[in-house]
Amino acid sequence: MNFTAKSKKGRNKIKQSRGDRVFTVVNDLLLLIGFLIVLYPLIYILSSAFSAPKAVATGKVILWPVNPSLRGFEAVFEHKAIVTGFLNTIFYTVAGTAVNIVMTVMAAYPLSRKSMPGRRVLLFLFTFTMIFNGGLIPSYLLNSDLGLINTRAVMIIPLAISVYNVIICRTFFESTIPDELLEASQIDGCSHFRFLLQMVVPLSKSIIAVLILYYALGHWNSYFQAFIYITDRSKFPLQIILRDILVLNSVNDIIADPQLYAARQGMAELLKYSLIVVSSAPFMIAYPFVAKHFVKGVMIGSVKG
């Protein structure tokens, strides 16, 4: 083992010309610079979230946590609106993604079958909506006519399908499910329904994993839909609460006494950093587990031919 590794290294060194060695160094140096630029803000946020309130407000945090504490996280989970927002978002994400996956697969499978009469027209109907749509106002009037305003359903039903994802899923079906498999199953008396459920879905786990990630992330981070359509505080998703705290800075408004304000200032800043970590962490932690499927699914799904 050791020997082969060494000899490999040695061989590489001999093979590389001077220009190529410079290339390697410059290449890795550029990567390192980019890496540090992306990494530093992330580390700073994480370290701030784990520091003491005073250290955050006075700029003592530079790289690592100062006077490490979990007080920020305690504050996050003591905040009633945040907890409600979290629960609502979990509901919207789980229910919404379930609807998304069922609808997307149901749209993608028929569109992937070359034998289907009228396939080209239907495909055009779907793809056309990707480049042209009615816009905000007509959609608002429609949802209002349907009685969806200020209901939980408005977070799920109007967002049931992303046509872009249907196209990815269809391309995947087209290139991975051979026609012969369907023909063979049909001769054995298998219907399209059964073929879809028992053959196509189990064979498409990687693209479904990708779709789950896309849709779930969309729901988790969605702000616009709730901002436009939901007015009832008990139905607010997390992102609306986050906007109140992070963007509109409404934590401080409650405190009028200036001395108390100064003491609480640090706490408010700490709460923000902890909140950023808590709300963004789930997907950052989950992604590496689906990454393998992801690369495979994206490659087959989105690259033509």
- In whole angstroms, the minimum distance from the beta carbon of 49 to other proteins comes to 11
- In this chain, which of 155, 166, 209, 230 binds other proteins, going by CB under 8 A? 166
Among 88, 93, 165, 279, contact with other proteins (rule: CB under 8 A):
279
CA distance linking residue 153 with residue 148, whole number of Å? 7
Site for other proteins in 62-101 (CB under 8 A): none
User: Is 299 a residue that touches other proteins (CB under 8 A)?
Assistant: yes
CB 254, min distance to other proteins, A: 18
Q: How many residues form the binding site for other proteins (CB under 8 A)?
A: 97
Q: How far is the CB of 4 from other proteins (least distance, A)?
A: 16
Among 161, 208, 230, 267, binds other proteins (CB under 8 A): 161
Q: Interface residues for other proteins in 190-249 (CB under 8 A)?
A: 191-193, 196, 217, 220-221, 223-224, 228, 239, 242-243, 245-247, 249
Q: Kindly state the smallest distance separating residue 226's Cβ from other proteins, in Å.
A: 11
Among 8, 31, 77, 233, binds other proteins (CB under 8 A): 31
CB 92 within 8 A of CB 156: yes
Instruction: Determine which residue in the list 133, 198, 231, 250 makes contact with other proteins, applying CB under 8 A.
Output: 133
| 16-24, 66-74, 168-176, 253-261 -> range binding other proteins (CB under 8 A) | 16-24
Question: To the nearest whole angstrom, how small is the minimum distance from the Cβ of residue 187 to other proteins?
Answer: 5
Please report how close the Cβ of residue 196 comes to other proteins at its closest, in angstroms. 7
Question: Which residue's entry shows tokens 């108390």?
Answer: 260
Q: How far apart are CA 74 and CA 79, in angstroms?
A: 9
